[in-house]
Amino acid sequence: MAEPSEWQKRITGEWHGRPSLFDATGTWCGYEDIRRSSVFDNGVTTYYMDGGLTGGGPLAGQFRLGAPFAFGVKDADDDRVYTGPDFYGTGQPYGSFVDSHYYGPGWQVDLNTWNQILPDGQTQVYSSVLYQGWAVVGCFNGVYTRSTDHDDNPATRERVTDFLAAETRRGPVPHIMPTKQSGAYAGSCELWGADQKPRGNVDVRIGLEPLDLLHTRRTLAWSGALTRSATATARRDGNRLFHEGPDAWGNAVAFGRAAFGSLHFTDVTKLKYREFMIDAEPGMTAGKRLAVVYEIFQGNVLDSVLHGLLEWEDAA
């Protein structure tokens, strides 16, 4: 390939983050200090990841890096193929979001990684759910910021340092929606078909009406290129969430700020989703920004992918 793919252009530069590691129960275990980049040079793309693990508990021996990771990528806008030696698998971009499935011999886990670049082009919301066969054994997730002159510009280094300090505070914060304040997370999202072609924009609104400290009436409403509305009572039990009808049924589990769920409507449509509370702080601050990704299935067939950034609105 003479030119990099559109996704490759989106991720040029170096990305700095401090993702948190969680075990299979959702218990916070530690931080992964990472600098990563994806370099396109003379038609060849190589992905680099360098860093270490702070903490980790019983998982530390498995997920601490013994050497920097590097692996080849067959770059394309339909299928990105990871050719090893440190990761093998594929990733499918849908605009500014990519869904990757691959195996890491060094970590000895299968990974499902979701990378979502926000509209500012400088912020990336990241998660890797880690599997042994079909069983979840852990999760890495966090937020990254981009730089192009980190080693040469003191102002950039200061910005990155402040960003990493914020991620250190926020990493262990649990995913808990407001429990006494009605309102909604709302914003315009991109809709992409399973063929990886754009279908237009969708206004997404997650309306929240707390019923008590553990139950909330949630209404998910889409309008624009896709129209749907469904209301369900959401019951929280620790880091687990249950959607209990009448219009939608399913559940979710949270690893820190990120909740991963499955939602079934009363027709053939079902969702696989992630809600990420970007700026949730310790204490009782849920955060004003919610990054969302919905993979929309008709039966067992992927139909489309909807993703974007929502902002909190207080109820009138």
3-state secondary structure 117-180: ECCCCCEEEEEEEEEECCEEEEEEEEEEEEECCCCCCHHHHHHHHHHHHHHHHHCCCCCCCCCC
Judge if 11 and 70 occupy the same domain.
Answer: yes
Ranges of the chain with pLDDT below 50: none
Q: What is the pLDDT of residues 60-117, one digit of tens each?
A: 999 988 888 888 888 888 999 999 899 999 999 999 999 999 999 999 999 999 999 9
Going from the C-alpha of 59 to that of each of 28, 54, 78, 135, 255, the distances in angstroms are 11, 11, 34, 15, 15
Judge if 196 and 122 occupy the same domain.
Answer: no
CA distance 315 to 146: 34
CA distance 239 to 29: 15
Give Cβ neighbours of residue 9 (< 8 Å, ≥ 6 apart): none
In a domain, 68, yes or no: yes
The pLDDT score that the predictor gives to residue 172 is 96
Residues in the chain: 316
- Report the alpha-carbon angle 271-272-274, nearest 5: 120
- Report the alpha-carbon angle 34-312-308, nearest 5: 55
Judge if 225 and 282 occupy the same domain.
Answer: yes
Residue that is written with structure tokens 């489309």 in the block: 304
Identify whether the C-beta of residue 286 lies closer than 8 Å to the C-beta of residue 280: yes
In a domain, 204, yes or no: yes
Given 138, 170, 202, the domain boundary residue is 170
Given 144, 170, 196, the domain boundary residue is 170
Judge if 141 and 200 occupy the same domain.
Answer: no
Q: Which amino acid is at 77?
A: D
Residue 60 tokens read as 């530390």
168: exposed, middle or buried (Cβ count in 10 Å: 0-12, 13-18, 19+): middle
CA distance 178 to 194: 33
User: Which CATH number is 73's domain given?
Assistant: 2.40.128.20
Structural domain for 200, as ranges: 183-314
Going from the C-alpha of 165 to that of each of 126, 141, 291, the distances in angstroms are 17, 16, 20
In a domain, 65, yes or no: yes
Q: What is the pLDDT of residues 272-283, one digit of tens each?
A: 999 999 999 998
Going from the C-alpha of 205 to that of each of 13, 152, 185, 312, the distances in angstroms are 33, 42, 6, 10
Tally of domains in the chain: 2
Q: Which amino acid is at 158?
A: E
User: Where in 10-153 does DSSP place strands (E)?
Assistant: 14-17, 20-23, 28-41, 44-55, 69-74, 80-85, 88-94, 97-104, 109-117, 123-132, 135-147
In a domain, 175, yes or no: no
The answer to whether the bond into 198 is cis (omega within 30° of 0) is no
Residue 192 tokens read as 């992409």
Judge if 141 and 192 occupy the same domain.
Answer: no
In a domain, 268, yes or no: yes
The pLDDT score that the predictor gives to residue 44 is 76
Judge if 192 and 150 occupy the same domain.
Answer: no
Judge if 16 and 136 occupy the same domain.
Answer: yes
In a domain, 103, yes or no: yes
In a domain, 177, yes or no: no
In a domain, 1, yes or no: no
Identify whether the C-beta of residue 47 lies closer than 8 Å to the C-beta of residue 73: yes
With CA atoms as reference, report the closest residue to 73 among 49, 107, 97, 51: 49
